Amino acid sequence: MWEKEVVLPANQAPVTLKEQLLLWHVPRRLRGRLRQQRRVLLNGHYQPTSTNLQPGDVITMHFEQADFAPESAYVPDDRVVLPVLFETADFLVINKPKGMKSHPNSPGEDGTVMNFVEAYLQPQGQHAYMVHRLDGETTGAMLVGKKPYIVPILNELLREKEIKRTYLAWVTGALTSNAGTIDLPIGEDPVHDRLRQVNGPNARLALTHWQKIHQVYQNTLVRIELETGRTHQIRVHFAAIGHPLIGDALYNPQATPDIGLMLHAASIRVPMPFEGTVRSISAPLPRSFPRNLT
């Protein structure tokens, strides 16, 4: 069982307990279980969720394993200590290196971000929980949960586009505009399971906003914000408009093997669960991502 206790601030809004859980983005199914099984307490006692809250009230939530998917089972691997950019009692943000998978694809596999974070969290008595992933060649800020109850909340924030992720990428060619939006549905590749393509089978809405930062000869550095989160979205979108990412072995036919993918998750803006504040966490550029290209 996991317990989360929150002391309401002095400027607490005049809402009910039910409304507060909704404001915290606790998913509907989880809110129902907490209420039905009386596992959400107000000042140490069960109260109807229609009860009005006051500044200084203490809300305590008790979560059980049955509330979530199977327990985290990543094999701890302490061979690599990943840079931790930000950490709370519930989640952390790491700076993912190039060439590292986000998570294992088979039981017992190690050598991935989740394995290294699992080993990092062991002394705390915590486990690593997947929230979102980055492609193996992509570097930068990546969220990892430390408690199972935080995962559905962060996923809800991702779905509602409350969590903002900003990327930097070097693309080929000289972009003629200073900014733009790529609005092209992305679906499956009917030939290669690993790939995606614009207007492929089962295509879904995909929106990518970009802004030109710097241009060197026939290469352009762009800042990117995603409104949707499709697999390989940035890579597919820029390839589709004729400006594939430099070093993209999957979508850039001119990519050379000695240059890795030029894509970096530069920052992530997270509304802090249970707090009502927002934090922006930046990931410094790795050496593999040049500020200038010639």
| Predicted local distance difference test score (pLDDT) of residue 72 | 76
- One domain for residues 49 and 88: no
Residue 124 falls within a domain, yes or no?
A: yes
Statement: residue 7 has pLDDT above 60:
yes
CATH number at residue 117: 3.30.2350.10
Is 270 contained in some domain?
Answer: no
Q: Are residues 135 and 189 in the same domain?
A: no
Is the predicted pLDDT of residue 110 greater than 60, yes or no? yes
pLDDT of residue 285: 94
Q: How far apart are CA 229 and CA 220, in angstroms?
A: 23
Element (H, E) at 247: none
Q: 255: domain range?
A: 165-265
Amino acid 287: pLDDT? 87
- Supply the residues annotated as catalytic: 135
User: Are 147 and 108 within one domain?
Assistant: yes
| pLDDT value, residue 229 | 87
Of 30, 241, 283, 286, nearest to 155 (Cα)? 30
- In a domain, residue 292? The reply is no
How many domains, the chain?
3
Residue 294 has pLDDT above 70, yes or no: no
Which residue is associated with the tokens 């030029």? 262
Residue 257's pLDDT is 72
Any domain includes 221: yes
Is 280 contained in some domain? no
Per-residue pLDDT of 164-213, as tens digits, reads 999 999 999 999 899 999 999 999 999 999 899 999 999 999 999 999 99
Q: Answer yes or no: do 180 and 261 share one domain.
A: yes
Whether residue 136 has pLDDT greater than 90? yes
For position 293, what pLDDT does the model report?
A: 61
Which of 135, 160, 185 is the endpoint of a domain?
160
| Beta strand spans in 162-242 (E) | 164-172, 179-183, 186-188, 196-198, 207-216, 219-226
Is 74 part of any domain? yes
> What whole-number distance in Å separates Cα of residue 275 and Cα of residue 19?
15
Rg (CA), the chain: 21
Distance CA(205)–CA(257), nearest Å, equals 32
Mean pLDDT of the chain: 94
The domain boundary residue, chosen from 104, 127, 160: 160
Task: State whether 193 and 253 are in the same domain.
Answer: yes
Q: In terms of C-beta density within 10 A (0-12 exposed, 13-18 middle, 19 or more buried), how is residue 10 classed?
A: exposed
Query: Do 198 and 213 share a structural domain?
Result: yes
Q: What share of the chain is helix, strand, coil (3-state, %, to 5)?
A: 15, 30, 50
